[in-house]
Amino acid sequence: MITRQKTIAIIGRGIWGSTLASLAKQNNYEVKTWSRSSSENLESIVASSQVIVSAVSMAGVRPTIEKLSSIKLLSDTIIVTATKGLDAITTKTPSQLWQEAFRNFPIVVLSGPNLSKEIQQGLPATTVVSSVSDEAALTIQRIFATENFRVYVNQDPLGTELGGTLKNVYAIAAGVCDGLNLGANAKAALLTRALPEIIRIGTHLGASSETFFGLSGLGDLLATCDSPLSRNYQVGYKLSKGYSLEKILMEVEGTAEGLNTTKVLIQLAKKEKISVPITDQIYCLLQGETTPSEAVKGLMQRDLKSEY
């Protein structure tokens, strides 16, 4: 195992990239950051870095991969993806895109109940790092673990990634639920039924069901669906109050990845014949085909059936 102190390159200077940079700096790592607006050349940032962290939006993943593909990286480089989303062209996850482009480098997924503003305030938080390479995952664990930020490891990168990605759809639904003042019973029912939908999708795609009961699954679902700090929750909440989606997106800070994820997930579910009733209603709502109240009614009027 390489023991020298590593240099970390973080691509993306948004709130999440800045948060990850701060965590690594707390452990005295040399951290370099880069974004599209940087005056520095990307090659000068990553060429001497043993760890490259992609903290860009889903829309930025492909362009970032294309830029890095033309740069000669150190042979022991570890690539970390901290993006939660699905590719609109292939329906693949970020780590799958990264692994296709960089087959000879270990890819690590970082995902969990990570509201950036809380972490920046020093409040206790946890996350998961996952890779088929145990050594790579343990290395990333050491880099980001701090007194208030606990990092766990698992060996299911796909499940870890899907848990963090799919929960954004249900966060929109949770915002609608709270915005309509439907009460604690309805919110509990929504989250309880959202989890099996996530597991149904994830296991169909090859992930382990156990992963979705962990931090990057249930943990991230609870945090994102119950916090006004969540951009996706804000979208659902404001839709329930009658705001147009265009106006909401102008007001929301950063990218609400649940919007793109919902569209891609509907395509994927149709192709793979996966039942996604909650996602169906959120998709219709985002497309302007139904109202928040009608979406709730649609879910409540589904055929009576066994719970399991």
pLDDT in tens, 8-31: 999 999 999 999 999 999 999 999
pLDDT in tens, 146-184: 999 999 999 999 999 999 999 999 999 999 999 999 999
The arithmetic mean of pLDDT across residues 235-239, rounded, is 96
Average of per-residue pLDDT values in the chain: 94
Give the residue carrying structure tokens 């870890």: 160
Please tell me whether residue 79 adopts helix, strand or coil conformation.
strand
pLDDT reading at 1 higher than 60: no
Domain with CATH 1.10.1040.10 in the chain: 158-300
Please tell me whether residue 247 adopts helix, strand or coil conformation.
helix
Q: Per DSSP, which regions of the chain are E strands?
A: 7-11, 30-34, 51-54, 78-81, 107-111, 125-130, 149-154
Give the total residue count for the chain: 308
Indicate which residues carry an active-site annotation. 167
Report which of 25, 235, 15 is spatially closest to residue 118, judged by C-alpha positions: 15
Residue 59 CA neighbour count, 13 Å, CB half: 8
pLDDT reading at 308 higher than 90: no
pLDDT reading at 302 higher than 70: no
Residue 160 CA neighbour count, 13 Å, CB half: 26
Both tokens of 135, joined, read: 């050594």
The Cα 269–Cα 78 span in angstroms is: 32
Which of residues 278 and 6 earns the better pLDDT score?
278
Tell how far CA 35 is from the center of its chain: 19
What pLDDT, on the 0 to 100 scale, is given for residue 298? 84
Q: Which amino acid is at 189?
A: A
Domain with CATH 3.40.50.720 in the chain: 7-155
What pLDDT, on the 0 to 100 scale, is given for residue 45? 92
CATH code given to domain 158-300: 1.10.1040.10
pLDDT reading at 5 higher than 90: no
What pLDDT, on the 0 to 100 scale, is given for residue 2? 42
Q: Which amino acid is at 45?
A: I
Which of residues 173 and 3 earns the better pLDDT score?
173
What pLDDT, on the 0 to 100 scale, is given for residue 303? 60
Pick the CATH number of 7-155 from 3.40.1440.10, 3.40.50.2300, 3.30.420.40, 3.40.50.720: 3.40.50.720
Beta-carbon contacts of residue 100 (< 8 Å; ≥ 6 apart): none
Beta-carbon contacts of residue 67 (< 8 Å; ≥ 6 apart): 42
pLDDT reading at 104 higher than 90: yes
pLDDT reading at 49 higher than 50: yes
What pLDDT, on the 0 to 100 scale, is given for residue 6? 86
The arithmetic mean of pLDDT across residues 266-286, rounded, is 96
Taking the CB of residue 84, how many other CB atoms lie within 10 A of it?
A: 30
The Cα 277–Cα 200 span in angstroms is: 12
The arithmetic mean of pLDDT across residues 60-72, rounded, is 96
Per-residue confidence band for 285, with pLDDT thresholds at 50, 70 and 90? very high
Which of residues 219 and 2 earns the better pLDDT score?
219
Please tell me whether residue 144 adopts helix, strand or coil conformation.
helix
Give the residue carrying structure tokens 């939006």: 57
pLDDT reading at 307 higher than 80: no
Per the CB < 8 A criterion, the answer to whether 94 and 161 are in contact is yes
